[in-house]
Amino acid sequence: MVRFDIITLFPRMFDSPLQESILYKARQAGLIAVGLHDLREYTRDRHRTADDTPYGGGAGMVLKVEPLVAAIEAIRSPSGKTRTVLTSPQGEKFTQAAACRLSGFEQVVIVCGRYEGFDERVLGYVDEEISLGDYVVTGGELAAMVIVDAVARHVPGVVGDEESVAGDSLANGLLKYPQYTRPPEFRGAGVPDVLLSGDHKKIERWRRAASLERTLARRPDLLESAKLSDEDRKVLLNYKHRQETE
């Protein structure tokens, strides 16, 4: 089991996502647990102030270091099998590999960034900063939801068909091949014959080639670190040649 502990100013934002679909079933089955912690509960003044104006001036507010560290220290398990992450647009980009890595911890503490950011001194109390991508959203709660969902998928038993996880886009460093289901024809658009053939070896080869071609067309950067066979490289060269001659 993996336990997620989320430190946030807005714990009610998580109510709906945690009550639906796979995350709800995983919690009910005891495969994951999620604790929500209101940052204001760790403040010391009667106004429960969790943010303040930045030293040096500037717009907006900054999350205070005292309540953040107090929350982290109170929540973090002493077992040592825990990882504390801070959601921040300045962090490392979240990837499928990162989700898989985090699923190996017994506890993942997620600190949700907000406003103009956080007091820099809190970085001495977290293990890593994580960003969803090169854009900014209102708060780290949305990022935390994504992290919980992505990491939970790697916990054994959370997804009923584990082959589904292994076949996810980016699971092997490539985008997933195109998928089709009934009907076999829709408004003149059909399904590739190979998928209807029943020949599993041919289907597997087609899917691998389609995955490679889609990755080259949409996310060529992924190919730089992907493990490619000689056959894969032939597929990519043929695809490039077809694109150049069309």
Where are the CATH 3.40.1280.10 domain residues in the chain?
2-152
The pair of three-digit structure tokens given for residue 137, joined into one six-digit string: 């959203």
Three-state SS string across the chain, please?
A: CEEEEEEECCHHHHHHHHCCHHHHHHHHCCCEEEEEEEHHHHCCCCCCCCEECCCCCCCCCEECHHHHHHHHHHHCCCCCCEEEEEEEEEEEECCHHHHHHHCCCCEEEEECCECCCECHHHHHHCCEEEECCCCCCCECHHHHHHHHHHHHCCCCCCCCCHHHHHCCCCCCCCCCCCCCCCCCEECCEECCHHHHCCCHHHHHHHHHHHHHHHHHHHCHHHHHCCCCCHHHHHHHHHHHHHHHHC
The whole-number pLDDT of residue 160 equals 74
- Coil, strand, or helix at residue 45? coil
The whole-number pLDDT of residue 8 equals 98
The pair of three-digit structure tokens given for residue 48, joined into one six-digit string: 């429960």
**Whole-number Å distance between alpha carbons of 3 and 26:** 11
The whole-number pLDDT of residue 30 equals 97
Question: Alpha helix (H) ranges present in 167-229?
Answer: 193-196, 200-218
Contacts of 146 (CB under 8 A, 6+ apart): 94, 132
pLDDT in tens, the chain (246 residues): 999 999 999 999 999 999 999 999 999 999 999 999 999 999 999 999 999 999 999 889 999 999 999 999 999 999 889 999 999 999 999 999 999 999 999 999 999 999 889 999 999 999 999 999 999 899 999 999 999 999 999 999 999 766 666 666 676 889 999 999 999 999 999 999 999 999 999 999 999 999 999 999 999 999 999 999 999 999 999 999 999 987
CA atoms within 13 A on the CB side of 220: 5
The whole-number pLDDT of residue 168 equals 67
Please provide the CATH number assigned to the domain covering 185-245: 1.10.1270.20
Cα dihedral 184, 190, 193, 196, rounded to 10, equals -10
**Whole-number Å distance between alpha carbons of 26 and 159:** 8
**Whole-number Å distance between alpha carbons of 214 and 118:** 39
- Coil, strand, or helix at residue 238? helix
By annotation, the residues acting in catalysis are 89, 116, 153, 168
Query: Topology of domain 2-152, per CATH?
Result: Alpha/beta knot (3.40.1280)
